[in-house]
Amino acid sequence: PTTFSPTATSSVQPQPVPNSRDFLLWSFFNAMYCNPLCLGFIALVFSVKSRDRKMANDPATASSYGRTAKQLNIAALCLGIVGTIICIVLLAIYYRSLRA
C-alpha cells in the first residue's frame, strides 16, 4: 500500500492596489451649491483627474489628486458655511434696523 504524505504548496498573492478615493460627488456638490472663490470647481477638476489616473492604473498619482480634491472640498465647504452664516447675520441686522 502507498501512503500519501501532505504536500506543501505555496502561492504568491498579488499586493492589493490601494483604492484611492476621488471625491467626485462631493466636488460636484461643492461646484454647484458651495463654490466660494471657485474652490468647488477646482476640486471637481482634481477629482476628475484622480478618476482618470485610477482608470489608467496609476494609484500614486490618483491618490495625490484625490487628497488635493479632498482638501479643496473641505476649504470650499467651510468657506461656504461661514459665508452663509455671515449673510444670515447681516440680513437679520439689516431687517432689525428697518423695523426700528
Cα atoms in the 13 Å half-sphere on the side-chain side of 75: 14
| Stated pTM of the model | 0.77
Kindly state the cell numbers that stand for 50: 484622480
Instruction: Encode pLDDT of 67-99 as tens digits.
Output: 999 999 999 999 999 999 999 999 999 999 999
pLDDT digits (tens, 9 = 90+) for 10-62: 776 655 556 789 999 999 999 999 898 999 999 999 999 999 999 999 999 99
Q: What are phi and psi of 47, to 5 degrees?
A: -65, -40
Residue type present at position 80 = G
Domain extent listing, the chain? 38-52+64-99
